[in-house]
Amino acid sequence: MSAADPTNADLHDVILVGGGLASCLALLALAAARPTARVLIVERAHALCGNHTWCFHADDVPPELADVLAPALAHRWPGYEVAFPEHARSLASPYACATSESLAAAVHAAIAAHPSYAARLGTAVEEVGTTYVVLASGERLRARRVVDARGPAHLVTDPAACGYQKFVGLELDLAAPHGLDRPLLMDATVPQQDGFRFVYVLPLAERRVLVEDTYFSDAPDLADAELVAGIHGYVAARGWRAAEVVREERGVLPLPLEMPAAPRALGDGPLVAGYQGGWFHPTTGYSMPLALRLAQFIAHGIEEPDAAERWQLLVDEHRRQLAFALRLNKMLFRWFAPAQRHHVLARFYRAPEDTVRRFYALRTTRADRARILCGRPPRGMSWRAVLTGQRAAG
Ligand SMILES: Cc1cc2nc3c(=O)[nH]c(=O)nc-3n(C[C@H](O)[C@H](O)[C@H](O)COP(=O)(O)OP(=O)(O)OC[C@H]3O[C@@H](n4cnc5c(N)ncnc54)[C@H](O)[C@@H]3O)c2cc1C
């Protein structure tokens, strides 16, 4: 069977449903690995990539994808800092980010350079099957492989077994240089409210910062105006003056506490990728490392004779890592009252730097897991919650 065969003239090799992080990384990886494949990305909005700043540890990028991702990167820093009431720390792990603009530009450049690659924007998908998609217009498209990556809103979660990471971020132009040379990943010295709260500060240029007020909360409701006011209060307390708000971003990400259903075997339904498919870190909400791992599989592994086994290995390793991260989530959201949650993160950030990095990448070793969990429990743990299985009150 080949696309040159007139009966297959409309057959795509891969259709990527949803033009967000997971699909865009998959497209970049495919363009590099299979430049003549027929690949289509379908996005409901009129632009790719939404409105995001995706940060990650720079060495989360597998060496094979470094060249693929390079054009999509917007910033890179030599390390980052964290601050808690008990201690502060500077970490030397390089940190990087891609923005919606930088990733979308890289994808459009890849499409322009590969005549068999295309994007359909402003096109909602209604139904997703193993080898077809149906658009809201009723048009039916066929593909050898369909990747379904419609984002966090399509993740199925049980609200009773879930916490939430919610945040509002303001990208600000300041009246004077901020003086930071690296991100402040967690400033948890701020008043603790609505669960674990921290402010995240990303220096983007001499006078430009992204300041994000973030909560690990029991409830998904976002008190938008309060968070915006909190950011302005934080900026003022640091002695900065915001000359202009140049962009805003916000999000409410479900953080599961229980193991999700296992992904289907390869070919048994579409490949469900991204946040929707559970390919994210359940404690941090980050999905860049896993989106990269899946992009690598979609570009290199999926057409190999042993693709089903490779897929199962990927799934099994992910679920092994999930089991540990979900234990931590249960601890955070069940064993610690909201006002005590910061102790868990403060203790985590005393772990060796490699352990911290592997935890973010969901590549922990047995020794990492022991380091994170063993020893005296963090302050504020409710033994009553541990023994009864109820959420800690307070
Ligand atoms: C504001 C914000 C900041 C974040 N920051 C980070 C970070 O710093 N680092 C990190 O690793 N993670 C971060 N995350 C978490 C996670 O990485 C993102 O949610 C990530 O974008 C998820 O990728 P995805 O491809 O699964 O979904 P998305 O990137 O959300 O993409 C899904 C796409 O599918 C489209 N879509 C939905 N339904 C349809 C349909 N029916 N038809 C066609 N298209 C459809 C949507 O419009 C969207 O463009 C952040 C999340 C948010 C909300």
pLDDT tens-digit readout, 284-293: 999 999 999 9
Domain locations in the chain as residue ranges: 6-77+94-156+258-318, 159-254, 339-388
169 CA: nearest ligand 1 atom? 1
Mean pLDDT of 363-367: 93
Residue nearest (by alpha carbon) to ligand 1 atom 3: 52
CA distance 370 to 367: 5
Q: Residue 53: left if φ>0, alpha if ψ -120 to 50, beta else—which one?
A: beta
CATH code of the region 159-254: 3.30.70
Average pLDDT, the chain: 92
Using alpha carbons, select from 229, 202, 215 the residue that is nearest to residue 345: 215
The verdict on the CB of residue 249 being under 6 Å from ligand 1 is: yes
CA of 374 to the centre of ligand 1 (A): 34
CA of 385 to the centre of ligand 1 (A): 34
pLDDT tens digits, one per residue of 301-314: 898 999 999 999 99
CA of 376 to the centre of ligand 1 (A): 37
Is residue 3 very low, low, confident or very high in pLDDT (cuts 50, 70, 90)? very low
pLDDT tens digits, one per residue of 46-76: 999 999 999 999 988 888 888 889 999 999 9
pLDDT tens digits, one per residue of 252-289: 999 999 888 899 999 999 999 999 999 999 999 999 99
For a mutational test of ligand 1's pocket, the pick from 25, 44, 102, 141, i.e. the residue with the most ligand atoms closer than 8 A to its C-beta, is 44
CA distance 141 to 107: 21
For a mutational test of ligand 1's pocket, the pick from 287, 359, 360, i.e. the residue with the most ligand atoms closer than 8 A to its C-beta, is 287
CATH code of the region 6-77+94-156+258-318: 3.50.50.60
CA of 129 to the centre of ligand 1 (A): 21
Q: Looking at the predicted structure, is the pLDDT value of residue 9 above 80? A: no
Strand pairing category for 125-128 and 132-135: antiparallel
pLDDT tens digits, one per residue of 142-185: 999 999 999 988 888 787 789 999 999 999 999 999 999 999 99
| Same fold: 6-77+94-156+258-318 with 159-254 | no
Q: Looking at the predicted structure, is the pLDDT value of residue 227 above 70? A: yes
18 CA: nearest ligand 1 atom? 34
320: Cβ contacts below 8 Å, ≥ 6 apart: none
Environment class of residue 104 by beta-carbon count within 10 Å: exposed (0-12), middle (13-18) or buried (19+)? buried
CA of 25 to the centre of ligand 1 (A): 12
The verdict on the CB of residue 152 being under 6 Å from ligand 1 is: yes
Tokens standing for residue 329 = 């989530």
CA of 38 to the centre of ligand 1 (A): 24
51 CA: nearest ligand 1 atom? 1
What are the Cα distances from residue 332, in Å, to 217, 256, 293, 343, 384? 10, 11, 27, 9, 14
